[in-house]
Amino acid sequence: MASVLVPLAEGFEEVEAVSLIDVMRRGGIEVRTVYLEDEFSNALVTGANGITIQADMSIKNVICDDFDMIVLPGGWDGTYALAENKRVLELLKECKANKMVGAICAAPYALKKAGVLGDDYTCYPGAKDEINQAGYRNDKKVVIDGNIMTSQGPGTALCFGLAIVEKLVGVETMLSIKEGMLLDFC
C-alpha cells in the first residue's frame, strides 16, 4: 500500500489539506498527517480559516523511508512555517532523492527553500513572485517534473489528489475515483 506524509502547520489551507487527504484515502493510500514540533505545539493544528485538525503524530517521529511521498498543503502562514522548519526541509531533501515530493498553492515556496523545486512547476498565481524561480507554468492545474508534483491552489486540490493517486496507485484507481466523485473538470 502506498503511503503519503502530509505536514500541517498553523495557517495551512484547509480545502487543500482535507481534499488531498480524502482523495488519496479513497485511492487506498495510507495518509499520515504530522504537526511541527516547537515548545507550544500539539497534535491540534488550526488552518487559515479557523478549522482545527488533529494530526496523527509529531514530525520528529517521521522517517522518510516509511513514505512514498511527502505533500505540502498551502496557505501562506502554514507555508512560511513549513519553509522555516529544519525537519521539514531535511525531509524534503531526503525524499527528493528517491521519493515523490508534492506541494500546492503557496507551498512550492517551501520546496524552493529546500532546494528541491523542479525546473517546471505551478503554484498559486500570487505566490509566483515570492517563489521567484524560472519555470513557472500557469497552463496546467498540476505540473509533474520528474518526482516533483505541484498544483495551483484550493480549486485544483481534487485534481492534484487524483494526479497523486494515478502516480502512486494507477490510472484505473484514479479513473474510478474521478467517476465516483463526478469530477468532470480534472
Catalytic choice (95, 105, 123, 159): 105
Judging by DSSP bridges, how do beta strands 100-104 and 148-151 pair with one another? parallel
Q: Sort 120 into a burial class: Cβ within 10 Å, 0-12 / 13-18 / 19+.
A: middle
Q: Look up 159 and say whether it is catalytic.
A: no
Q: Which residue has the cell 528541491?
A: 116
* Cα–Cα distance for residue pair 158/104, rounded to 1 Å: 11
SS3 for 87-103 is HHHHHHHHHHHHCEEEE
Judging by DSSP bridges, how do beta strands 142-145 and 69-72 pair with one another? unpaired
Here the cell at position 87 is: 525537519
Please identify every residue annotated as catalytic.
Answer: 105
